[in-house]
Amino acid sequence: MPCPCCQGALELFGRRRRSQILGSGGKQWLLIRRLHCVDCNKIHHELPDVLVPDKRHEASSIEQVIENRESSSVSADESTLNRWRAWFAWWAPYACGCLEALRQRFFLCVEASSSPTPSALRDLGRYVGNAGGWLARTVRPIANAHLYVATRSAWMST
């Protein structure tokens, strides 16, 4: 994998452990590789699919709640669920802007079509599709480009 900022070469810089809350309520540990770019000197954290940088819960749980899925069985209290919805309402337009900027920068093959009734979810879907895993597909390129803005410290997250 080349550096997402400058396409330079990456070298392994270390690892760090992070815990994550699963949809079932259980906890799992992730080992995240830290990579150093020998060209632009940036440190990157290899982001696993299941992770949103400033969230304690796995991406698929947050995704279910934002989609308001009937079958959602995420074990988190109502205030957490409401925080995710509020976060997404704030974050989705920003994420769309990031994806649009990345699309122009890297000439990504993204169909940018206008939708008659705009919604945050639909806007994001134009870039990453609506199939399961869309939240991870949104977060990853943004985090890789060092554009992810956390609402608060990654270690005190919701």
Residue 39 or 49: the one with the smaller Cβ distance to Zn ion is 39
Residue 3 or 143: the one with the smaller Cβ distance to Zn ion is 3
In the window 25-64, what residues touch Zn ion (CB under 5 A)? 37, 39-40
Structure tokens at 95: 């994420």
Residue 23 or 141: the one with the smaller Cβ distance to Zn ion is 141
Tell whether residue 6 is a contact of Zn ion (CB under 5 A).
yes
In the window 59-118, what residues touch Zn ion (CB under 5 A)? none
Minimal distance, residue 36 CB to Zn ion, in Å: 9
- Of residues 3, 35, 65, 142, which one binds Zn ion by CB under 5 A? 3
Tell whether residue 145 is a contact of Zn ion (CB under 5 A).
no
Q: Tokens 């995710």 belong to which residue?
A: 84
- Of residues 5, 96, 121, 154, which one binds Zn ion by CB under 5 A? 5
Measured in whole angstroms, how far is the alpha carbon of residue 36 from the centre of its chain? Answer: 21
Span interacting with Zn ion, options 5-13, 56-64, 128-136, 140-148, rule CB under 5 A: 5-13
Tell whether residue 147 is a contact of Zn ion (CB under 5 A).
no
DSSP characters for the chain?
---TTT---EEEEEEEEEEEE-TTS-EEEEEEEEEEETTT--EEE---TT--TT-SB-HHHHHHHHHT-TT------HHHHHHHHHHHHHHHHHHHHHHHHHHHHHT--------SS--HHHHHHHHH-SSTTHHHHHHHHHHHTT----SS-GGG--
Which residues are paired to 121 by β-bridges?
Answer: none
Count, residues near Zn ion per rule CB under 5 A = 7
Binding residues (CB under 5 A) for Zn ion: these are 3, 5-6, 8, 37, 39-40
